[in-house]
Structure 1
Amino acid sequence: MKLLPPKPFYYEGGERAVLLLHSFTSNPNDMKKLGSYLQQNQYSCYAPTLSGHGLPAEDLLTYGPADWWQDALNGYQLLKGKGFEHIAVAGLSLGGVLSLKMGQELKVNGVVTLSVPMYKEAAVLKERIIYYAKRYKQLEGKDGKQIESEIAKLDHLPFDSLTDFEQLINQTRDQLSRITSPVHVLYGELDDPSYKTSAEKIFESVASDQKTIKGFANSKHLMTLGKDMNTVNQDILAFLNELNW
């Protein structure tokens, strides 16, 4: 069975725009509930598909942080092209790393990060890719023997993009003090403890006058689709509403 890659989405909602960036090995569906909620509250939202995402792992590995950063820039420019003068950015995991980088390098109204890693080794990212590959192949309807064979081949492919991803995280962490836009940092208390540590690092390091940090008791990594989803959405909206538009 051939799987169709998820498409980007644009929800027209009002004169305030939010760029939504999804997580590693996932797709814009991560952000659809949040985007729809923000649209209902007079925000326009765009969520790009980061290059290679929604494709087989073998294809995803041919892309890396330079491509994903360009995708984020293209999303920002798309919103600019639609006439939005003020743009906030909200990102989950990898999307949150890119959001912080945007806060360092572009004029953004505010930055929201969810489940963002500030400490992640390429070897751990490789485990994530292997897991993603197995799930994808199962959805394609492949049997266990074929999946095992293909995973063995995958293991011998170059994983340079993951080393580059680790470097992106490190570089972004080292330049957090460049961020002066308002920042709202969210993490799930049921997620790996490293994400709480990362959230605290972001909160402590950004130079923003307006910054907040919040943990959600019932949330794992995918905060935008978890048990706290509605509370998370309301929390993000409250932060956005306080920004100077």
Structure 2
Amino acid sequence: MKIIAPKPFFFDNGPKAVILMHSLSGTPNDMRLLGRFLERNGYSAYAPMFAGHGTREPLDIINQGGATAWWKQVNESIEYLKSQGKTEIYIFGLSLGAIFASKAVEECPEIIAGGIFGSPLYNKSFKNIRSAFLTYSEKVYALNELDSATIQTKLTEIDQRIDGFLAGLQETTDAVDEKLIDINKPFFIGQGKTDEMVDRNGAVKVDADVKTSEIHWYDAGHVLTINRAHKELSQDVLNFLENIEDRNA
């Protein structure tokens, strides 16, 4: 069976554009349902793919990615949408993407508003993310039909390198946390009640810091954009965006 590699997507539907940033072990495919929903409701949707993702080698994420590379991609995404004539730009991120979506709301004047889904903000440990990434890697290597010795060698390398890699992300996350209190743009928080990947109390702390925030709880787990909550989440995001427009009218 031929496996089609995931790709970034751009659903072009007018001057209002939403950037959608995926998770650490995800791809733009995880944002596609939300992107199509927004497109049907009058928004352009752009989901770039973080460097190192979309391949069948998890080590590419560690070798090619990281906070510096991914933040550069956020800025490139904004510039791309401006080059496409987009005059209103919003940004949302899932898990890893939430870190950089929040940073963009804090630092990029082009961003009108944004939000987070299953965010690791205010998480002081990435141990669950670490464990999940190793599990993800093992599954990918199994799909590649590698022999057990080769898989173990690769997993050992990931195990030896991932702590330093995640420490860099933790540093970026902490810096974003410190600036949340200064956000004065509309800010959406979506959090699953049964999310076991991140500390759910982090969403409460973000909501307390960001005076312009609105928090939404879902009877679902971590990947809100594709799990049982995805329709409710999509509608809530659309309502959030339309309310901003109403206030600015």
Shift of 1:145: 4.2
**3-state DSSP class of the match of 2:23?**
coil
Q: 1:195 to 1:235 in 2, by over 3 A?
A: farther
- Percent identical among aligned pairs is 28
Asked whether the 8 Å contact 1:61–1:159 carries over to 2, the reply is no
Q: Is 1:103–1:181's contact at 8 Å kept on the other side of the alignment?
A: yes
1:62-92 Cα shifts (integer Å, max 9, x gaps): 1211111111111111111111121011111
Query: Which amino acid is the alignment partner of residue 188 of structure 2?
Result: H
Once the two structures are overlaid, the 10-residue window that deviates more, 154-163 or 225-234, is 154-163
Quote the residue 2:29 is aligned against: 29
Q: Does 1:136 align with 2:140?
A: yes
Alignment-derived partner of residue 236 in structure 2: 235
Q: 2:120 aligns with which of 117, 122, 131?
A: 117
Calculate the aligned-residue CA RMSD, in Å: 2.0
Q: Judge conservation of contact 2:130–2:162 (CA < 8 Å) in 1.
A: no
Structure 2 contact 128–198 (Cα < 8 Å) conserved: no
1:75 maps to which of 77, 83, 105:
77
Conserved in 2, the CA contact under 8 Å of 1:65 and 1:161?
no
Listed as ranges, the gaps of 5+ residues in structure 2 are: none
Structure 1 residues 153, 3: CA separation in 2 closer, same or farther (over 3 Å shift)?
A: farther
8 Å contact 2:101–2:114 — kept in the other structure?
yes
Confirm or deny: 8 A CA contact 1:18 1:45 kept in the other structure.
yes
CA contact (8 A) 1:3 1:140 kept: no
Between stretches 30-39 and 108-117, larger displacement belongs to: 108-117
Q: How does 1:73-222 map to 2 (within 5 A)?
A: 73-107=75-109, 108-118=111-121, 119-157=123-161, 159-192=163-196, 194-208=198-212, 211-217=213-219, 219-222=220-223
Structure 1 unmatched ranges of 5 or more: none
Q: Structure 2 CA distance, aligned partners of 1:228 and 1:212?
A: 17
Query: What is the deviation of 1:123?
Result: 4.5
Contact 2:191 2:200 (8 Å CA) reproduced: yes
Alpha carbons 2:129, 2:197 under 8 Å: kept: no
Shift of 1:133: 1.2
TM-score (norm 2): 0.90
Q: SS of the counterpart of 2:160?
A: coil
Q: What SS class does the counterpart of residue 121 from structure 1 fall into?
A: coil
CA distance in 1, matches of 2:23, 2:81: 20
Paired positions, count: 242
CA deviations over 1:38-67 (Å, ceiling 9, x no partner): 000010010000011123122211121111
The residue matched to 1:184 in structure 2 has which SS?
strand
